[in-house]
Amino acid sequence: MASRIALAHLPTPLEPAPRLAAALDMDADALWIKRDDCTGLAGGGNKARKLEYLCADALAQGCDALVTGGGRQSNHVRMTAGAANKLGLACTIVLSSDRPSLPAGNVVLDLVLAPDIVWAGRLGYAALEEAIEAAAARLRDEGRRPYAMPIGGASVVGAQGYVAAAAELRAQLADIDVVVVAVGSGGTQAGLAAGFGDHGKILGVDVGARPDTVEAVAHAAVAAARYAGLPDPVGEPQVFAGAVGPGYAVPTEEARAAVDLAARTEALRLDPVYTGKAMAGLLAARRQGRIERDTRTVFLHTGGVPALFAYADWVAGAGGGIGA
């Protein structure tokens, strides 16, 4: 078993969503929201669960600095900076972005949490992973002991957070048919698939963060299961690719409709980068009959609320979105 240190507020609530269910023509007790937006680490979100395992590993290895990276509105780097502060570790984050003239959303919180920020300019997924490694190498040259985490904390250690979350969820609700979740790096879906032992129970909604989502989830799920001492998950990763739109962090009309519907029925705060697209994927799956009226469905709310504040013009109806 992997070791963890407590950073998140757990267990997170599992709430029924009867008004949203009615809007989707679903039974009132068929739709549930797993509130991992309420994990409580510097604003919350799914990365808090991964960081409990990643930080335990970093401390066990005697590391003195956390290093990671992400897109400009990365929730993972924001929560990594928060975890570092709580643990008294140094922190370097690499952002695949130019420095914005006016910080917004997660960047505001990044500046307050005050990690060392490398503004790397727009990088592709693989180039950003290399930039994280390069930042760690520079620290090593300076005599530090960095702990480098991939984008999204999507290592086999980080995925253990969602192996454990699967058990938490199953203890809260019996007979779950499907968990719908946004897929970025893929670590969350992989951990859940490993924890449930069945890819068929998880419907990932791709948000376009990486080019090789299905392969990455398949590979990471096996690694996560073996690390946890569990059997390999059966089946193949279920990934819905129809909600990405023009690209990662580019908002879509479907995401806007989903953000509005969730807010107006259940007071849920979704975001344009991850959870709005994930909910748009759930709506599409319902329309297509992949989710039926009585399919016992859990929407995993992975957080991301701060990013909404970086898309104020989009919310105001002016289109675009400056956040990415």
Ligand X SMILES: *Cc1c(COP(=O)(O)O)cnc(C)c1O
The footprint of ligand X (CB under 6 A) covers 45-47, 75-76, 152, 154, 182-188, 274-275, 302-304
To the nearest whole angstrom, how small is the minimum distance from the Cβ of residue 74 to ligand X?
7
* Active-site residue, 155 included: no
Return the residue matching tokens 């739709």: 31
To the nearest whole angstrom, how small is the minimum distance from the Cβ of residue 75 to ligand X?
3
Tokens (6 digits) for 169: 């969820």
Residue 66: strand, helix, or coil = strand
Closer to ligand X at the Cβ: 139 or 191?
191
Closer to ligand X at the Cβ: 152 or 245?
152
The Cα 202–Cα 44 span in angstroms is 22
Closer to ligand X at the Cβ: 110 or 139?
110
Question: Residue 95 contacts by C-beta under 8 Å, 6 or more apart in sequence?
Answer: 69, 70, 71, 72, 74, 77, 110, 117, 118, 119, 120
| Residue pair 85/91 in contact by the 8 Å Cβ criterion | yes
| Residue pair 3/56 in contact by the 8 Å Cβ criterion | yes
Burial (CB count <10 Å: 0-12, 13-18, 19+), residue 101: exposed
Closer to ligand X at the Cβ: 82 or 186?
186
Question: Residue 316 contacts by C-beta under 8 Å, 6 or more apart in sequence?
Answer: none
The Cα 239–Cα 51 span in angstroms is 24
Nearest CA to 149 out of 135, 170, 165 is that of: 135
- Interaxial angle between packed helices 47-60 and 75-87, expressed in degrees from 0 to 180 and rounded to the nearest 10: 40
The Cα 294–Cα 27 span in angstroms is 6
Cα end-to-end span (Å), the chain: 37
Tokens (6 digits) for 188: 């969350």
Closer to ligand X at the Cβ: 45 or 251?
45
Closer to ligand X at the Cβ: 29 or 236?
236
Q: Which of 74, 96, 97, 185 is catalytic?
A: 74
CA distances from 96 to 59, 68, 125, 207, 265 (A): 27, 11, 9, 16, 35
Closer to ligand X at the Cβ: 146 or 303?
303
Tokens (6 digits) for 32: 């549930």
Q: Beta partners for 70?
A: 95
To the nearest whole angstrom, how small is the minimum distance from the Cβ of residue 78 to ligand X?
9
Which residues belong to the active site? 74
